[in-house]
């Protein structure tokens, strides 16, 4: 099969062995797969991952022990837990210390004609949902995680820093429960695409003297956290979405002096993401997709992903 792999170098391979199917797992034919910031980070050494890249997909079950699933269109949770620890028992496979993660930790990903996942990781995609929405379930679920972590009353003022894919999704998700949300970024074109419902967008944050109740940091840079601390009110909450809060120098004294709470936030439950998509059919997810590329042009697609005006790039296996 065709596959995009990283083995120290990003490569497109025309011929790569099809995956074996462990008992209880499904073989999935991939239709579309999204390129994520994490994929780019992996090509820079993140997690020391070697293998087939990719963890965002929509596909069709080709083979598995349960005939009900065969030929179903599916999306798949990316964390495969050990099934034995406390985290797994609490449906928190995404925090299992021995988890494997599709295309990220110890498990070949979905940038290929086929991938495999446990049947228990799969969710059927509603017939009415187009592939271009379904392929965004993973990042939308990650954005929805914020709602699970914050106890919002509805009257909070929120600011989202970062006009990339994840920042926009976080702002949209917050807009479904809060009336006062501002998305702040540097790119006018992205900000324009970010506009939805009552969401406000701004290139520079108005320096509020009182500070926002909630600040979501989704810029992907260390500087973003510094801005978040200064935009957040005393005793306010900062949601940290950027995994690339790397080894930069940082003065965290504002967290202590202003008794702010910093909440790390990563993957979310697909059930929540799918429900959000169905509840808000007007959520303009299609706007986030900058382009579809055939898998043969994966290297070009990766390059395009790092361009400042790009939102989501999708590899389409059917073109």
Q: Which residue has the tokens 């840079």?
A: 221
Phi first, then psi, for residue 233 (nearest 5°) are -75, 165
* Maximum pairwise Cα distance, the chain: 60
What does DSSP assign to residue 18?
Answer: P
- Taking CB under 8 A as the binding criterion, the range among 76-84, 262-270, 285-293, 302-310 that sits at the site for its own copies is 262-270
Using the rule CB under 8 A, which residue among 261, 275, 306, 318 binds its own copies?
261
What residues between 197 and 216 interact with its own copies by CB under 8 A? 209-210
Using the rule CB under 8 A, which residue among 20, 249, 307, 308 binds its own copies?
249
Using the rule CB under 8 A, which residue among 225, 283, 295, 298 binds its own copies?
225
Q: At what angle do helices 270-279 and 137-149 cross, to 10 degrees?
A: 100
253 sits near its own copies (criterion: CB under 8 A): yes
Q: How many CA within 13 A on the CB side of residue 278?
A: 10
**288 closest CA partner among 179, 94, 59, 132:** 132
152 sits near its own copies (criterion: CB under 8 A): no
Using the rule CB under 8 A, which residue among 179, 203, 248, 318 binds its own copies?
248
Report the distance separating Cα 310 and Cα 32, nearest Å. Answer: 18
Cβ pair 212, 160 in contact under 8 A:
no
265 sits near its own copies (criterion: CB under 8 A): yes
Tokens of 115: 């991938």
15 sits near its own copies (criterion: CB under 8 A): no
Minimum CB distance to its own copies, residue 241 (Å): 7
Which residue, 179 or 248, has its beta carbon nearer to its own copies? 248
Report the distance separating Cα 145 and Cα 140, nearest Å. Answer: 9
Minimum CB distance to its own copies, residue 281 (Å): 29
Q: In Å, how far are 122, 229, 260, 303 from 251, measured between CA atoms? A: 42, 10, 14, 33
266 sits near its own copies (criterion: CB under 8 A): yes
For the chain, what's the residue count? Answer: 319
Report the distance separating Cα 193 and Cα 287, nearest Å. Answer: 6
260 sits near its own copies (criterion: CB under 8 A): yes
Minimum CB distance to its own copies, residue 75 (Å): 21
Site string for its own copies, 76-115 (x = CB under 8 A): ----------xx----x--x-x------------------
48 sits near its own copies (criterion: CB under 8 A): no
The residues that touch its own copies, with contacts defined as CB under 8 A, are 86-87, 92, 95, 97, 145, 149, 209-210, 225, 234-235, 240-266
């Amino acid at each position: 099969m065709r596959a995009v792999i990283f083995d120290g170098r990003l490569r497109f391979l025309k011929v790569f062995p099809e995956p074996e199917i462990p008992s209880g797992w499904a073989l999935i034919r991939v239709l579309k797969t999204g390129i994520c910031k994490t994929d780019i980070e992996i090509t820079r050494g993140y997690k020391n991952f070697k293998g087939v890249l990719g963890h965002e997909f929509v596909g069709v079950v080709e083979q598995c022990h349960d005939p009900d699933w065969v030929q179903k269109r599916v999306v798949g949770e990316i964390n495969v837990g050990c099934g034995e620890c406390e985290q797994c028992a609490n449906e928190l496979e995404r925090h299992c210390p021995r988890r494997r993660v599709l295309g990220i930790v110890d498990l070949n990903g979905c940038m290929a004609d086929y991938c495999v996942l446990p049947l228990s990781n799969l969710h059927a995609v509603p017939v009415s949902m187009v592939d271009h929405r379904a392929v965004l379930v993973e990042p939308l679920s990650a954005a929805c995680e914020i709602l699970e972590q914050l106890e919002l009353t509805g009257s909070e003022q929120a600011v989202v820093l970062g006009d990339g894919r994840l920042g926009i999704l976080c702002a949209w998700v917050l807009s479904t429960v809060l009336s006062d949300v501002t998305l702040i970024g540097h790119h006018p074109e992205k900000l324009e695409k970010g506009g939805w419902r009552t969401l406000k967008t701004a290139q520079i944050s108005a320096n509020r003297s009182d500070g926002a109740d909630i600040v979501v940091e989704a810029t992907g840079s260390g500087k973003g956290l510094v801005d978040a601390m200064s935009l957040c009110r005393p005793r306010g909450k900062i949601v940290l979405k950027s995994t690339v809060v790397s080894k930069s120098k940082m003065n965290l004294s504002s967290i202590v002096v202003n008794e702010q709470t910093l909440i790390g936030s990563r993957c979310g439950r697909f059930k929540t993401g799918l429900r959000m998509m169905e509840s808000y059919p007007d959520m303009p997810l299609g706007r986030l997709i900058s382009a579809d590329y055939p898998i043969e042009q994966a290297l070009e697609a990766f390059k395009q992903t790092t361009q400042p005006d790009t939102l989501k790039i999708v590899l389409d296996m059917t073109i």
